[in-house]
Amino acid sequence: MDAKVLIESFAEFARSKNVDRPTMIRILEDVFRAMIRKKYETDENFDVTINADKGDLEILRIREIVDDNSEDIWDFDKISLTEARKIEPDFEVGEEVYEKIELEEFGRRAVMMARQTLIQRIKDLEKDLLFNQYEELVGEIVSAEVYQILGREVLLIDGEGNELILPKGEQISKDRFRKGDTVRAIVHKVEMVNGNPRIILSRTSPIFLERLFENEVPEVFDGLITIRKIVREPGERAKVAVESYDDRIDPVGACVGMKGSRIHAIVRELQNENIDVINYTDNLDLYVARALSPAKVTSLTVDKDNKRISVYLKPDQVSMAIGKGGFNIRLASRLVGYEIDVFRELSDYEEEDVDLEEFVDEIDNWVIDELKKTGLDTAKSVLSLTKEDLIRRTELEEETIDEVFKILRQEFEQ
């Protein structure tokens, strides 16, 4: 294989991978200089000129002519007068010899190795370019097509044929994909694994929801409305705190849109995830009340030292504050940055009820805490439910619930 064929075949391969000309020339020169170093131990006194468009290669070895008896005669950049005159008979000491080295002089095996090295260098460059391309897209939405569904992940292909990965843990629980489906997700992270870029997507990240708002709500995209915080239980419920610095703009109304037109597009993308958009405020009491919407808070107390808030509601508001599966109160706690405890506000006829804290000698603290998480803070509120209700609403075992019922009933029998 001569230099012209080698360079032209490499240039064609490089162009097919969208490698720019300067990078192509640099890789060619690096590989040829590596060949020179292997044969001559150094490439310091060699000049390599490449014209990739024409397939031309010129390698010149440059040496200074010294006297045959000179002590420098064995230096890599020196040549004896006798050897120099074999090249040109009229050379003199002190002149420089420019000797052209043909590619064939390196041997067929070295040339074939160079060809393999060039192809590998382009493949490595392609991987680096892909890594850098997607590293700049981290946190941005991309669309890709499903081409293989595995047990723990879905493999997708982007418009350029690159493989993207959507792990099970980054999928919404209600997501159901088929081969050929177009999927939208954010680039979650990019990592190198054994020299290959691994591009991880996510549909569960709060950033994905934020980008969807930017796509659907022009005021968010333009910065007129700021998203202060997003918390999600992917596929179930999300709370988005928004703020506008322009009094003329209602941030909640703008995000929801006329008759919910803007928010519906986002909800559909997230498999009918319920999205509560609330006005952000520095007033903690008001912020908590808004975070627990749709429940109406009667009163609350804040323990800043322990980062806990006790919220009191009318009995018919407790279940709304907690929400289906406890999602509402958990998300509200994460949104405001405090642990929220829900308590029923006792009416006159309930005053003879007994607070669960009164039973700490008979019921373990962790059991009482588990009941309080679901808004059950008094003996009668627990007894008003069936065993099946408590099993469904708490993480308590059946035997524990039976024991709690027994203790509380004894209190009122006495």
Same fold, 3-125 and 137-204: no
Please state, in angstroms and rounded to a whole number, the distance separating the CA atoms of residues 120 and 190: 22
Neighbours of 248 (CB within 10 A): 6
Six token digits for residue 264:
């519906």
Residue extents of the structural domains in the chain: 3-125, 137-204
Diameter of the chain measured on Cα atoms:
127
Six token digits for residue 22:
């300067």
Q: Which long-range contacts (CB under 8 A, 24 or more apart) does 303-311 make?
A: 306/339, 307/337, 307/338, 307/339, 308/338, 308/339, 308/340, 308/341, 309/336, 309/338, 309/339, 309/340, 309/341, 310/341, 310/343, 311/340, 311/341, 311/342, 311/343
Sign of CA dihedral 22, 25, 29, 30: positive
Beta strands at 225-233 and 237-244: parallel, antiparallel or unpaired: antiparallel
**Token match 């680096």: residue?**
128
Neighbours of 211 (CB within 10 A): 19
Please state, in angstroms and rounded to a whole number, the distance separating the CA atoms of residues 133 and 162: 11
Instruction: Report DSSP state, residue 243.
Output: E
Please state, in angstroms and rounded to a whole number, the distance separating the CA atoms of residues 293 and 252: 13
376 sits in the region (left: phi over 0; alpha: psi -120 to 50; else beta) called beta
Sign of CA dihedral 134, 139, 143, 145: positive
Contact 188, 138 (CB under 8 A): yes
Neighbours of 289 (CB within 10 A): 20
Q: Per CATH, is 137-204 categorized as 3.20.20.70?
A: no
Averaged pLDDT, groups of 10, the chain, 414 residues long = 74 75 84 88 90 81 90 88 89 90 83 83 85 93 94 92 94 93 95 91 96 94 94 94 91 92 93 94 93 91 91 86 89 94 68 78 88 84 84 86 88 68
Sign of CA dihedral 82, 87, 90, 96: negative
Please state, in angstroms and rounded to a whole number, the distance separating the CA atoms of residues 2 and 103: 7
Q: Which of 45, 39, 119, 118 is nearest to 79 (CA)?
A: 45
Q: Return the CATH number of the domain spanning residue range 3-125.
A: 3.30.1480
Q: Residue 118 burial (CB < 10 Å; 0-12/13-18/19+)?
A: buried
**Token match 């919220």: residue?**
311
Cite the beta strand spans of 159-261 per DSSP E. Answer: 163-167, 182-193, 196-202, 225-233, 237-244
Instruction: Quote the pLDDT of residue 164.
Output: 96
| H or E segment to which residue 366 belongs | helix 365-373
**Token match 């803007």: residue?**
262
Beta strands at 153-157 and 96-101: parallel, antiparallel or unpaired: unpaired
Q: Which of 301, 370, 310 is nearest to 339 (CA)?
A: 310
Contact 356, 363 (CB under 8 A): yes
